[in-house]
Amino acid sequence: MTANSYRILHALPGRLRLRVPALAASGAGESLRYWLESHEGVEEVRINRAARSLVLEYDPGQLTQARLLERLEICVPGSADALEIRGASDDPSITPLVRNVLTLMLLPLLPRPAQHVATLLNIGSKLIKGADTLIHEGVKVEVLDALAVGLSASRGKLYTANITDFLLTLGEYLEERTQQQSDRLLRRLLRPAPTLAWVERDGQLVQIPGDRVETGEILVVGVGETIPVDGRVVEGVALVNQAAVTGEDVPIAREAPKRVVAGSVLVEGRLRIEATRVGEDTTTARVARFIQESLDKSSDTQRMADELADKRVYLTLGSAGAVYALTRDLTRVQSVFLVDYSCALKLGTPVAFKSGLYQAASHGVLIKGGEAMERLGGIDTLVFDKTGTLTHSELEVTDVVVLDDRSGETEEELLAMVASLEEHATHPLSQAVVEAARERDLQHISHGEVDYMVAHGVSAELDCCRIIVGSRHYLEEHEGIHFRRHEARIGRLLDEGKTLLYVASEHGPMGLIALRDTLREDAETTLARLRALGIDRLVMISGDRQEKAESLGRTLSLDRVHGEVRPEEKAELIAALQREGRKVGFVGDGINDGPALVAADVGIAMSRGADLARASADIVLTDDRLLAVADAREIALGTLKVIRTNFNATVGINTGIMAGALMGWLSPVASALLHNGTTLAVLVHALRGARPAERERIVEPE
């Protein structure tokens, strides 16, 4: 059954309530939620699988009800299961809380026997859960909760039993809702939106969800569309931006029989692609599985809190036994049972981590679990890969080289000619050349019709001759114009890490235009903030010549610079720092940064990094801001501080309450209110989390 079987229960502008029978299927709720939330204009999706109910809140200014229902109709619940985080479930039910409130309101109106029945029905689930935990897991906090509630009810303290049950249920509800919202945000930020695919079936093109494509089917992908599968080109020529896979923003040519990967975007041209890897075999699914494993890991702090909380359960139980042995006062015993320490200890730490993860995500940082956040807070050295990290991916013209001195062309005339042709193309190299000519206020040069060769170059007739601009491969292999005599100049520019455009006429080579990426505007601010946040050594790794790398290092006041580093040497440099006793973080974006990201104590991948880099990293930036690295460090330190504060407050306050209960100064009601009030206060403090100080954001140029 698909999601196109539904019934509208209630509709208002911006809000829609539906009955969807397909929600009965296991896993259908989260895949349907993700499919709908990824659509622009959808603000919130709430699902009650037991009631087969779906509530959609959306912006009527961006999305019509009819368009929203169309998206629902083409979704197949369960189709995104391979991408789901383990443990995803329906929204936490508010029914137990409603039941608690109704019981407390009705209790004064009922006769005494009915009050006992109502109380038993209300707290029954807590008693059953406690008994089950005792049988299968031993003495845990659930057992103490059941004992405290059960003793109150058995002694006729019905209000105490119901109020205690309400407070415990409220804490569980808030914890579960916070955890689900945080996990859902992390999943949505990590993964690309579900894509649609045009597939050839029975001689016709049909549009289906990308994850429903089958191996061997032929897809047609046009300009601006995302390739939803790994596959092989069978027809067509196109420029493909593979930044999501390789981290290289300059689009590359793809034609038969070359391969393409899921997540790539078509910039120019049109392709027919045979699907070779679909569903769980695609890169996106493999990354999602890695994230599942990462989020399942507990941090050292969380494990320590859990162990201490379990020990405190025995302390509470032992104290209650001692009190009963000495006083035979069951009221004191009830009061002691309600002070178990472990609620706040076990609750505060994971919620604080989840809140920190949420805050980080809101600032453009995906941190893969509490353990990664804890390690980020503990590093003292940060290593940056230069390209795409300290520098951003936008290109600028650095050199205009005239190769044919006999032509009499100047550098500005050569640049003006090339820009006049390139303004008709949309390639990033073309845009950089046009921008360089505009900055120098160069005049447009008249020319004939521009012949644009997809993924190769451009050419046009000028008054002097036919000008051809493109890659060296195209000019030499297709046009027969060779640049061997200029190998020294070409080699020097390439050694400096620059990208080259080759310019020629039918008479031979005319010139070169060199481009390179530029230093990020927020680089210096980021490094200064990191030093203020306790990073005492900043290091850069670059494939550039040592002299060039050191020049940039001086500009950024780096502590150490390593130039001429081969990709395979990056991990060894990380290991060398660790042997010095350093706790090392590494920031990179390329596919060859994977080993270094894994070797570091904490790996950080840039937003435009390769899928392999994102999978290998502990932290992924979702905003293209280097300042997000400093935000992440500040949030990590703040979260660890919140956890320490909560821990100290929990132990201190609950010890005071325990003392009052042991001495008989606190009634069970007072003990319950104070203890559960403390637990909720810890939860609220954890929910507020750690936020980086508000600063003026440096926006990278478009």
Segment among 292-296, 386-390, 465-469 with least mean pLDDT = 292-296
Q: Is the peptide bond prior to 257 cis by the omega test (within 30 degrees of 0)? A: yes
Report the distance separating Cα 209 and Cα 76, nearest Å: 8
pLDDT above 50: residue 519: yes
Report the distance separating Cα 357 and Cα 370, nearest Å: 8
pLDDT above 80: residue 31: no
Q: Which band of pLDDT confidence, cut at 50, 70 and 90, is reported for residue 451? A: confident
Q: What is the pLDDT of residue 482?
A: 92
Under CATH, to which class is 196-288 assigned?
A: mainly beta
Strands 271-277 and 230-235: antiparallel
Q: What is the pLDDT of residue 396?
A: 84
pLDDT above 70: residue 349: yes
Q: What is the pLDDT of residue 645?
A: 87
Q: What is the pLDDT of residue 183?
A: 58
Q: What is the pLDDT of residue 422?
A: 86
Q: In a 3-state reduction of DSSP, which class is residue 279?
A: helix
pLDDT above 80: residue 126: yes
Count of Cβ atoms closer than 10 Å to residue 666 Cβ: 25
Q: What is the pLDDT of residue 287?
A: 47
Query: From start to end of 321-450, where are the E strands?
Result: 365-367, 381-385, 391-402
Which residue type does 104 have? L
Ordered by start, the domain boundaries in the chain are 7-79, 95-186+298-353+637-688, 196-288, 365-379+521-621, 395-518
Q: What is the pLDDT of residue 4?
A: 56
Contacts 24+ apart (CB under 8 A), 312-319: 312/340, 312/341, 312/342, 312/345, 313/139, 313/140, 313/141, 313/143, 313/144, 313/340, 313/341, 313/342, 314/139, 315/341, 316/144, 316/340, 316/341, 316/658, 317/139, 317/144, 319/658, 319/662
Structure tokens at 149: 């509630």
Which residue type does 367 have? I
User: pTM to 2 decimals?
Assistant: 0.60
Q: What is the pLDDT of residue 409?
A: 78
Helices (H), 485-618: 487-495, 523-532, 546-556, 570-579, 594-599, 611-616
pLDDT tens sequence across 478-496: 888 999 999 989 988 887 7
Q: What is the pLDDT of residue 79?
A: 44
Provide the CB-side half-sphere exposure for 702 (13 A, CA): 0
pLDDT above 60: residue 157: yes
Q: What is the pLDDT of residue 696?
A: 46
Q: Which band of pLDDT confidence, cut at 50, 70 and 90, is reported for residue 685? A: confident
pLDDT above 50: residue 613: yes
Report the distance separating Cα 226 and Cα 250, nearest Å: 16
- Report whether 195 contacts 204 (CB < 8 A): no
Q: What is the pLDDT of residue 534?
A: 94
Q: In a 3-state reduction of DSSP, which class is residue 451?
A: strand
Give the CATH fold of the 7-79 domain. Answer: Alpha-Beta Plaits (3.30.70)
pLDDT above 60: residue 610: no
Q: Share the mean pLDDT of the chain.
A: 78
- Report whether 123 contacts 153 (CB < 8 A): yes
pLDDT tens sequence across 75-111: 654 444 433 434 444 566 788 888 989 998 998 899 9
Report the distance separating Cα 190 and Cα 579, nearest Å: 33
pLDDT above 60: residue 631: yes
Q: What is the pLDDT of residue 1?
A: 39
Q: Crossing angle, helix 523-532 and helix 546-556, to 10 degrees?
A: 60
The highest-confidence range among 251-260, 278-287, 671-680, by mean pLDDT, is 251-260
> Which letter does DSSP use for residue 226 in this model?
B
Q: Note the CATH number of domain 365-379+521-621.
A: 3.40.50.1000
Instruction: Let me know if 293 is exposed, middle or buried by CB neighbors in 10 A (0-12, 13-18, 19+).
Output: exposed
Q: What's the rounded mean pLDDT across residues 678-695?
A: 71
DSSP 634-657: HHHHHHHHHHHHHHHHHHHHHHHH
Count of Cβ atoms closer than 10 Å to residue 517 Cβ: 19
Q: What is the pLDDT of residue 493?
A: 85
Q: What's the rounded mean pLDDT across residues 359-378?
A: 83
Under CATH, to which class is 395-518 assigned?
A: alpha beta
Structure tokens at 259: 């391969």
pLDDT tens sequence across 562-602: 988 876 788 899 999 999 999 999 998 765 677 888 889 99
pLDDT tens sequence across 45-76: 888 777 788 888 888 887 888 888 877 776 65
